[in-house]
Amino acid sequence: MTSSPAPGDPPSIKRERESSPSPDSIKRRKLELAEKLATMEPGLLEARYKVVYQNADEMALNRVNTEENLEDARLALNSAKETVDAAERAHANATEKFHDADNRLENWDEVKKLRRWMTRQIEDMRDVKTWEIALNRVQRAFEVAQRRVECIEKVIDRTLDILDVKDLEFVVGDEDYPV
C-alpha cells in the first residue's frame, strides 16, 4: 500500500508518496504475477518468454549496431579534426611566408609567386571552414547516437529487471532461451 500524503505536504511530495509503491504492494504484485504465471498454459508461457527474449536480443543487436556507428562517427570526427589541424598549420605557414616575401621586395617575382600561392591557401582555408562545418555535424550526430545508446541501455536494463524471476518458485526456459 502507498502511504497517504500529509495535508500540509507540497504537491510534488504528495505525487511522490502517491506514486511510490510500498514494499508490501511490490511483494503482492510479484505474488499476483507468480500466480498468473503458474496458471498459464506451458506453451503460452514459453511463447511469451520467447517473444521477450527475442525482443531483448533485438535490442542488444540494435545497441551493438549503434555502438559500431558511434565508433565510425568517432573515427570520422578524428579524421576531420586532423584535416582541420593540417589546414590551420598550412595557413600559418603560408601567412609566415607571405610576410617574409613582403619584407623582401627586392625579389619582386618571388613576391608575385607567393601572393598567388597565398591566394590558393586562402581558397584552401574556405575548404577548412567547410570541414569545420562537417566536423560540427559529425559531433552532433555523435551526441545523438550516444543518447540513443543510453536509451537502449536503459530499455535493456528495464527488460532485464522485468525478466528477473529468481525469487519465484520455478524457472522456465529451454536450450535456445535459458533463463
Report phi then psi at 103, rounded to 5. Answer: -75, -20
Is residue 68, in this structure, part of any structural domain at all? yes
Give CA–CA dist 117/125, Å, rounded: 12
CA proximity to 156, closest of 61, 68, 91, 65: 61
Is residue 48, in this structure, part of any structural domain at all? yes
42-103 vs 108-163: helix crossing angle, rounded to 10: 160
Task: Domain count for the chain, please give it.
Answer: 1
3: phi > 0 → left, psi -120 to 50 → alpha, else beta; which? beta
Is residue 106, in this structure, part of any structural domain at all? yes
Is residue 134, in this structure, part of any structural domain at all? yes
CATH number, domain of 42, equals 1.10.287
Domain that includes residue 76, residue range: 24-163
pLDDT tens per residue, the chain (179 residues)?
Answer: 445 555 555 555 555 555 667 888 888 887 887 777 667 666 776 777 777 778 777 887 787 788 887 888 788 888 888 888 888 888 888 788 777 766 666 666 676 777 788 888 878 777 777 878 877 888 888 888 888 888 888 887 777 677 764 543 444 555 555 54
Is residue 136, in this structure, part of any structural domain at all? yes
